[in-house]
């Protein structure tokens, strides 16, 4: 060997060569890029979570006033019969008057008064929703008539916003819906101890409310709708998707037809979700005649949308099972079906579950196709909690977020962010379930 190729005859291992230091520098740069990318994504995630929590956490508490309400018999049961049908003739207006007079009496008794605040404006700080709720309570329990009960009644969204920092004295000057005097009254009530901010169960269980009363808006119906849809999507998608993948991967001959099917499945996974909404509208509602706005139709549309994702994930999980396992099973005389169900499927299970949960999580957060099949409607009645409830009108969490984000009242921004928090909690629960299931199915090699 001649050493004409080496320009420096004395190359020490203690000193890195020029090429080596360049290679090391490139490696360091690459690591730096990686760390930067991860740092940026973590920062974005942190900012997103921070803003959502900042805007949304307050939605879980609601400013309320506690005071005694005198349920006068003359006003609520003019016939004096305690008969439900007769009492039902008294509308919410009648109950509103009862609440108003009790509230004004309470203010007077406690000596809470603000100069220049009319009685009408004073009682306006209470939510308009309260009358309806009191009416439902009294109709359910007519014996309450004639008694004095202590009620905790929501304040309206502006007073609530005042205690959450959304409304200030200055903004109240310019706001037609609230006056500084009303805020002063709220301050007095707070000093008196009548104001509290209990956990807002209505937000999690109540139905949606109109634009004028954001304090009453709740997620109950959309949570029920989303749960219905997730159950139906999981029941339809996972068996169909897994069965289709097993057939395509293990049994189907490899020919032009299966190639065509494969290309189409990949393409379907990339179709914009709103297109599935149009499809669902045409097929399930207009052609098949399923009730619109129902969770069943929503679930069917989401199933169509999720199937390609699940099929693709399942197929790659099945493909990742080493062929030696199939050989081993076939070699001792297992049939094709036994090979798949005894050996391939258990080994592919973790991958299948990951794919299924990813698909379901996408479906849970999907809005666009649901808009087209009418799940964006204002739904005030709870769907039945039996299986038939899937046919009742409902909304879904992401649609509710979308709907609230569109409304003008700033209180709905808070509600919208709160709904996002609920949606994220759902996703975390689903992912945790997936991780647990995967742990359970994972096999040591």
Site residues for another protein per CB under 8 A: 253-254, 322, 324-335, 338, 342-343, 347, 443-445
Nearer to another protein, 307 or 347 (CB): 347
Kindly state the smallest distance separating residue 329's Cβ from another protein, in Å: 7
Contact by Cβ (8 Å): 288, 391: no
Of 194, 249, 255, 214, the closest CA to residue 64 belongs to: 194
The whole-angstrom separation of Cα 161 and Cα 62 is 9
Kindly state the smallest distance separating residue 311's Cβ from another protein, in Å: 21
Q: Pseudo-torsion of CA 166, 172, 174, 179, nearest 10°? A: 150
Nearer to another protein, 174 or 439 (CB): 439
Nearer to another protein, 8 or 324 (CB): 324
Phi then psi for residue 416, to 5 deg, are -60, -45
Nearer to another protein, 380 or 442 (CB): 442
Nearer to another protein, 278 or 334 (CB): 334
Q: Concatenate the DSSP letters of all residues of 157-189 into one string.
A: HHHHHHHTTS--HHHHHH-TT--HHHHHHHHHH
Nearer to another protein, 287 or 445 (CB): 445
Number of neighbouring beta carbons within 10 Å of residue 272: 11
Nearer to another protein, 120 or 254 (CB): 254
Contact by Cβ (8 Å): 66, 150: yes
Of 347, 355, 339, the closest CA to residue 318 belongs to: 347
Kindly state the smallest distance separating residue 383's Cβ from another protein, in Å: 45
Kindly state the smallest distance separating residue 341's Cβ from another protein, in Å: 11
Of 233, 234, 200, 232, the closest CA to residue 219 belongs to: 200
Kindly state the smallest distance separating residue 372's Cβ from another protein, in Å: 43
Q: Could you tell me whether strands 195-196 and 148-154 are parallel, antiparallel, or unpaired per DSSP bridges?
A: unpaired
Kindly state the smallest distance separating residue 250's Cβ from another protein, in Å: 10
The whole-angstrom separation of Cα 142 and Cα 45 is 52
Nearer to another protein, 19 or 332 (CB): 332
Helices (H) and strands (E) in the chain, counts: 20, 3
Kindly state the smallest distance separating residue 285's Cβ from another protein, in Å: 43
The whole-angstrom separation of Cα 125 and Cα 156 is 6
Q: Concatenate the DSSP letters of all residues of 377-408 into one string.
A: S---SPPPSSGGGGGSB---HHHHHHHHHHSS
Nearer to another protein, 250 or 392 (CB): 250
Nearer to another protein, 116 or 333 (CB): 333
Contact by Cβ (8 Å): 284, 290: yes
Kindly state the smallest distance separating residue 321's Cβ from another protein, in Å: 10
Kindly state the smallest distance separating residue 441's Cβ from another protein, in Å: 11
Kindly state the smallest distance separating residue 338's Cβ from another protein, in Å: 6
Kindly state the smallest distance separating residue 326's Cβ from another protein, in Å: 8
Chain-centre distance for alpha carbon 256 = 43
Residue 54: strand pairing partners:
none
The whole-angstrom separation of Cα 427 and Cα 233 is 15
Contact by Cβ (8 Å): 158, 176: no
Nearer to another protein, 211 or 327 (CB): 327
């Amino acid at each position: 060997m001649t050493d004409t190729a080496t320009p420096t005859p004395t190359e020490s291992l203690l000193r890195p060569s020029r090429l080596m230091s360049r290679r090391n520098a490139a490696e360091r740069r690459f690591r730096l890029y990686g760390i930067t990318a991860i740092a940026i994504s973590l920062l974005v995630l942190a900012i997103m979570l921070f803003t959502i929590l900042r805007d949304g956490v307050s939605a879980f508490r609601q400013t309320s006033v506690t005071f005694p309400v005198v349920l006068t018999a003359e006003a609520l049961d003019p016939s004096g019969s305690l008969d439900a049908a007769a009492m039902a003739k008294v509308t919410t207006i009648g109950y509103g008057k009862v609440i108003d007079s009790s509230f004004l009496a309470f203010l007077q008794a406690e000596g809470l008064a603000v100069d220049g605040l009319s009685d009408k404006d004073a009682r306006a700080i209470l939510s308009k929703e309260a009358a309806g709720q009191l009416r439902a309570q009294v109709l359910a329990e007519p014996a309450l008539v004639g008694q004095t009960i202590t009620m905790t009644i929501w304040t309206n969204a502006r007073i609530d916003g005042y205690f959450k920092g959304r409304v200030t004295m200055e903004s109240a000057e310019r706001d037609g819906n609230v006056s500084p005097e009303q805020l002063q009254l709220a301050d007095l009530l707070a000093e008196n101890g009548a104001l509290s901010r209990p956990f807002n169960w209505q937000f999690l269980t109540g139905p949606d409310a109109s634009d004028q009363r954001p304090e009453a808006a709740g997620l109950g119906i959309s949570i029920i709708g989303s749960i219905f849809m997730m159950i139906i999507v999981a029941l339809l998608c996972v068996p169909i998707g897994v069965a289709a993948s097993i057939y395509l991967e293990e049994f189907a001959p490899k020919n032009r037809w299966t190639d065509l099917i494969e290309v189409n499945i990949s393409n379907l996974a990339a179709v914009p979700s709103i297109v599935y909404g149009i499809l669902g509208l045409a097929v399930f509602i207009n052609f098949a005649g399923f009730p619109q706005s129902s969770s069943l139709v929503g679930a069917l549309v989401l199933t169509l949308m999720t199937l390609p994702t699940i099929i693709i994930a399942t197929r790659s999980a099945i493909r990742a099972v080493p062929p030696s396992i199939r050989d081993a099973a076939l070699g001792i005389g297992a049939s094709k079906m036994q090979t798949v169900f005894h050996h391939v499927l258990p080994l592919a299970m973790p991958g299948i579950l990951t794919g299924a949960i990813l698909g379901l999580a996408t479906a849970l957060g999907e809005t666009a196709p649901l808009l087209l099949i009418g799940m964006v409607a204002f739904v005030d009645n709870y769907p039945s909690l039996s299986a038939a409830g899937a046919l009742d009108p409902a909304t879904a969490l992401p649609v509710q977020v979308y709907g609230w984000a569109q409304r003008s009242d700033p209180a709905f921004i808070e509600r919208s962010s709160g709904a996002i928090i609920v949606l994220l909690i759902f996703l975390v629960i689903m992912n945790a379930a997936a991780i647990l299931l995967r742990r359970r199915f994972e096999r040591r090699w």
